[in-house]
């Protein structure tokens, strides 16, 4: 997959992984990796961008005598997912056009 295209998808995959429950870095990597390749070194810059854009907020909790940083999606983050899904309809239309033209060759 094209690196730029993948980069765009990763942000939405991270947000989607937080849609139903708060999570932490390692768990987010495990959840998202089932659908698209992601490493912790890729994840943390994404989480910083999402936090800067107020799409996620963070908090810490103790886990096995250590502090663990958790991420929670915000209403703005949920709105971003919905906008992506709305735009996806247009992307599907473009895909169908390109595929149709290729089928006519």
Residue 48 has pLDDT above 70, yes or no: yes
CATH assignment of 3-103?
1.10.10.10
- How does residue 2 score in pLDDT terms, banded at 50, 70 and 90? confident
What does the alpha-carbon distance between residue 6 and residue 9 come to, in Å, rounded to a whole number? Answer: 5
Contact 25, 60 (CB under 8 A): no
Residue 62 dihedral angles phi and psi, to the nearest 5°: -80, 135
> What was the pLDDT predicted at 6?
77
- Calculate mean pLDDT across residues 17-35: 96
pTM for the model: 0.85
Q: How far is CA 65 from CA 24, 28, 43, 68, 71, in A?
A: 16, 21, 24, 9, 19
| Distance between CA atoms of residues 90 and 23, nearest Å | 31
The residue ranges of every structural domain in the chain are 3-103
Yes or no: say if 94 and 101 are a contact pair by the CB < 8 Å rule: no
Q: Mean pLDDT across the stretch 55-71?
A: 95
Q: What is the pLDDT of residue 105?
A: 65
> In whole angstroms, what is the distance from residue 24 CA to residue 91 CA?
31
């Amino acid at each position: 997959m094209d690196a730029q295209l993948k980069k765009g998808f990763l942000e939405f995959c991270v947000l989607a992984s937080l849609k139903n429950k708060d999570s932490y870095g390692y768990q987010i990597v495990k959840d998202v990796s089932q659908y698209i390749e992601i490493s912790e070194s890729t994840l943390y810059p994404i989480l910083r961008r999402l936090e800067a854009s107020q799409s996620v907020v963070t908090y810490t909790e103790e886990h096995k005598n250590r502090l663990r940083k958790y991420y929670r999606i915000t209403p703005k983050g949920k709105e971003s997912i919905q906008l992506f899904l709305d735009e996806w309809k247009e992307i599907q239309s473009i895909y169908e056009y390109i595929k149709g033209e290729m089928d006519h060759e």
